[in-house]
Chain A
């Protein structure tokens, strides 16, 4: 028996529930040297903004116990060059392409989304309302239910692609934000983005990141992510995409049990470039072994 790993978000059917997280996979090409990208459910690009961004001063990353901090500062080529230079590669892939969009005002989100509209090779959008590292925008849209609603509503009205809202854990109640973006017309929510964190170089009496604070990712945040996915999944009808410290098949299955219809591998890509495809294989093997016909049968099946 070959288990059915396919999952749907909006009208888009993914061959399996494994995605690679924004910011950890460039624009796809870098990891194309390591494995067949078509084996993935989908690829999520680095955040795209209206204009190119150079990003923050180095040092931009540092390792922490079972995790890492990053403050890249949304460095990206901007929407124009993305369409000209990066999309042609992605267009030739059979896997689904999700373009992550960031902005510092609702107008910017709308402008980027308008420019991406109708472009061949894009299957969905993920709206980043949760970047912890840029002063204006990003997280400010994701930390208040009203702002999150307004942002997603504006994007919804200007795009025909299915839309995923990427949520921040740095809020009082993530469920409230998830409900708001569902009302605004989002087709799915992905959570969690990184947690705000900090590391200090005692010798130099300086922060380890030039931005002082950064976003914490990796196995260190998995328990937080699982709890948030579990809480959110029972309160919204749209699919929940889980991420936060997923390193292997077991981690992925835990998120699925907690209510995630799909999962994203982020920091895991750095540790093992083939982490995501190994999870695709691992899910298949697990379903075969446990005689599970469809992976969707497992979603939210946590016994509580």
Chain B
């Protein structure tokens, strides 16, 4: 028995912008075991409404403080309840769950693509790489959002010295358009190396569908982190499947990280 319900203690709730929240949760077990790409399955309250747990990527871990963070946008009643929690409240968690990103070699280049809340696991990944003394100049981060105020954590990233490429759909900051367009332009203009380069992406499904197509076309070694409604979160119900060239795979147990070239999204 290596997995169990954890009771996390909520340390802080920060409102980072319109409907955007960051929770810091105290849990020594999770802080010790978590890896970039893992997710946590939590109950927003003890009632049966909403009934099911919610899955969130682990966003950041502070091992020495025995805490980890979640980053989310309020999209429905579950996230609404979560955003109204107060420090000191207990949270029922199952974590860390799922697989994790496989890391690049030290001499390889790293390219990350985040769309909207896709920043959550990728920021954790990039922080882990920097902590392991990867060269920031070998890391390119593409981050696309709808409008400027959703560009979270940009200042934190600028200070690390990684190569940042920003896009907004309304043009209020950086490239105007989708992040996949900017990425594709850079790729086609050969401003991004594809050999000895690891690619990582997380974001809404239409974006990941594009990334998956581009990865197949350019034969990119690309890992994508998927999102799905997960009733159980542990591989039992087979409800959260994604189609792949090897048949249906469970996002919760076989993923959430998949090879972009193998996933078939519609």
Q: How far is the CB of B251 from chain A (nearest CB, A)?
A: 9
What's the Cα separation between A67 and B48 when bound, in Å? 8
Tell me the B36-68 residues at the A interface (CB within 8 Å). Answer: 43, 48-53
Size class of the contact patch on chain A: 35 or more
Q: Which of B1, B232, B247 contacts A269 (CB 8 A)?
A: B232
Known: A34-B3, A34-B4. A63 touches B236 (CB 8 A): no
**Residue interface bits B228-266, CB-to-A below 8 A is 1, else 0:** 110111111111111100011000010000000000000
Stretch at the interface among A53-61, A108-116, A226-234, A292-300: A53-61
Most chain A CB neighbours (cut-off 10 Å) among B4, B247, B248: B248
Q: Return the contact of A61 from the options B48, B50, B231 (Cβ within 8 A).
A: B231
Q: Which residues of A contact B52 (CB under 8 A)?
A: 63, 68, 270-271
Q: Is the CB of B48 within 8 A of A219?
A: yes
- Within A29-85, the residues touching B (CB, 8 Å) are 30-36, 46, 54-55, 57-63, 65-68, 70, 72, 75
- Is the C-beta of A161 less than 8 angstroms from some C-beta in chain B? no
Which B residues, 116 to 166, have Cβ-Cβ distances below 8 Å to chain A? none
A269 touches B240 (CB 8 A): no
- Whether B239 lies near A72 (C-beta < 8 A) is yes
Are A23's CB and B5's CB within 8 A?
no
Q: In whole angstroms, what is the CA distance A61 to B233 when docked?
A: 13
Query: When the two chains form the complex, which single residue of A25, A30, A63, A66 contacts B253, counting CB atoms closer than 8 Å?
Result: A30
Q: Does A247 contact B (CB under 8 A)?
A: yes
A133 to B32, CA, bound (A): 42
Is B113 close to A, CB under 8 A?
no
Flag whether A26 is at the interface (Cβ < 8 A): yes
Distance in angstroms between the alpha carbons of A269 and B52 in the assembled complex: 10
Check: A17 CB closer than 8 A to any chain B CB.
no
A60, B239: Cβ atoms closer than 8 Å: yes
Given contacts A70-B231, A75-B248, A274-B5, contact A61 B237 (CB under 8 A): yes
Main secondary structure of the interface of B (DSSP, over half): loop
Q: Is the CB of A66 within 8 A of B237?
A: no
Query: How many Å lie between the Cα of A274 and that of B239 in the bound state?
Result: 20
Name the residue on B nearest A33 (C-beta). Answer: B3
Among B1, B2, B51, B243, the one with the most A-chain Cβ atoms within 10 Å of its Cβ is: B51
Interface status of B94 (Cβ within 8 A of chain A): yes
Q: Is A201 an interface residue (CB 8 A)?
A: no
- Most chain A CB neighbours (cut-off 10 Å) among B92, B229, B236: B236
- Say if the beta carbon of A272 comes within 8 Å of chain B: yes
Known: A61-B229, A247-B48. A54 touches B240 (CB 8 A): no
Given contact pairs A55-B248, A59-B229, A31 touches B236 in the complex (Cβ within 8 A) = yes
CB-CB under 8 A for A273 and B5, given A24-B232, A30-B232, A61-B237: yes
Contact B1 A35 (CB under 8 A): yes
Known contacts: A54-B247, A58-B242, A66-B51. The answer to whether A72 contacts B237 by CB under 8 A is yes
Contact present for A34 and B1 (CB under 8 Å): yes
Report yes or no: B94 in contact with A61, Cβ–Cβ below 8 A: no
Residues of B within 8 A of A142 (CB): none
Contact status A271-B1, CB under 8 Å? no
A-B pairs with beta carbons under 8 Å apart, 11 shown: A24-B232, A25-B236, A35-B1, A36-B1, A54-B247, A55-B248, A58-B243, A58-B248, A270-B231, A273-B94, A274-B5
